[in-house]
Amino acid sequence: MHNNLKTQFCNLSLNSPIILLSGCVGFGKEYTRIEGFSNKDVGAVCLKGTTLEPRLGNTLHRVYETPEGMINAIGLQNPGSNVVINEILPTLDKSETRFIINISGSSVAEYGEITKLFDDTDIDGIEINISCPNVKEGGVAFGNDPDMSYRVVDICRKNTSKPIITKLSPNQSDIAVSAQRCIDAGTDALAVINTLMGMVIDTKTRKPIIGNNQGGLSGAAIKPVALLKVHQVYQVSKQYNVPIIGQGGIISANDALEFIIAGASAVGVGTALFYDPLVCHKINNGISQYLIDNNLDTINELVGTLELNTIY
């Protein structure tokens, strides 16, 4: 891998700017067992969303393919924080990549409690999921209320010295206001964006296909929305040197480059892995070649270089 891909993010040294998104690779083994996979292609792996107690998740169906994307409503199925800490984290190969835990709570206090548990582990960072649209309690209310977002980030900040990444919801009126509040509360980085809320209907039964009625839309279909949100958040975050993970529909090197130009210091890859598990290697090669072609030494020189059109 070319040296120009090495990235600093929240004082973490990453092999590349690519971060595998939470929920798309489980707790890592769903990805590492694929022939041809290399952790060297990945800057960090964001592990599956974890709650304090075990969760069985939502009823079926939980995943449905849509044009240029997919809707999912898994419902944060996971074995709970203690199992993740005691049984899963010790099995991760931390020699080549970084690992970030994704946490979700149903109350402000629960977020703080989970954060404190993971602060005592060797996990590299903590991503706060305040915006998951698949859970009936907690996620939507927290992520779409800037003041509630502040409270969640604030209690997590008080319970850890590890890097905190706050995952912002696109399903709100002004994402920049929410970003500002999360920065005020002490987040180290922002993940932009989580899934858009959507629905699919079976015309024969006239019922939603997703058991939870609605779910999170991801994939190439949401990229234009995600790009705009990254641009909007960057106008706030750049004042505080708070980096962004740009995510939402990245399936190629050109997609990743668009997010970096819009203001992202790292890029999240998720849904693309379902149909091209080795896409990260291709994305890295494309980014590296772009930097060479444009006489750039590092990705950092490209971050936020978007030049807006003059509007008369």
The pair of three-digit structure tokens given for residue 136, joined into one six-digit string: 């009936």
Closest CA to 69 of 301, 293, 254, 270: 270
**In the predicted structure, residue 138 carries a pLDDT above the cut 60:** no
CA distance 20 to 191: 12
Quote the number of domains for the chain.
1
Q: Which is catalytic among the residues 132, 156, 182, 280?
A: 132
Residue 131 covered by a domain: yes
**In the predicted structure, residue 46 carries a pLDDT above the cut 80:** yes
Write the CA distances from 294 to 110, 247, 281, 288, 291, integer angstroms.
47, 23, 20, 10, 5
- Determine the average pLDDT of the residues in 186-212: 97
Helices 175-185, 223-237: crossing angle, 10 deg rounding: 50
pLDDT band at 38 (very low <50, low <70, confident <90, very high): confident
Q: What is the pTM of this model?
A: 0.95
The pair of three-digit structure tokens given for residue 10, joined into one six-digit string: 């929240």
Residue 113 covered by a domain: yes
CA distance 71 to 264: 24
DSSP per position, 243-310: -EEEESS--SHHHHHHHHHHT-SEEEE-GGGGT-TTHHHHHHHHHHHHHHHTT-SSGGGTTT---PPP
pLDDT score recorded for residue 136: 45
- By CB atoms closer than 10 A (0-12, 13-18, 19+), residue 176 is middle
- Is 24 catalytic? The answer is no
- By CB atoms closer than 10 A (0-12, 13-18, 19+), residue 216 is buried
Judged by average pLDDT, the poorest of 11-20, 27-36, 192-201, 295-304 is 27-36
Mean pLDDT of the chain: 93
- Determine the average pLDDT of the residues in 226-254: 98
Residue 67 covered by a domain: no
The pair of three-digit structure tokens given for residue 177, joined into one six-digit string: 């206001």
Residue 308 covered by a domain: no
Residue 310 covered by a domain: no
**In the predicted structure, residue 134 carries a pLDDT above the cut 90:** no
Residue 64 covered by a domain: no
pLDDT score recorded for residue 142: 83
Q: What is the pLDDT of residues 145-158, one digit of tens each?
A: 899 899 999 999 99
Residue 211 covered by a domain: no
Residue 16 sits in a domain of what CATH number? 3.20.20.70
CA distance 243 to 5: 16
pLDDT band at 261 (very low <50, low <70, confident <90, very high): very high
pLDDT score recorded for residue 140: 55
Residue 12 covered by a domain: yes
Residue 29 lies in domain: 3-57+74-198+216-301
**In the predicted structure, residue 164 carries a pLDDT above the cut 70:** yes
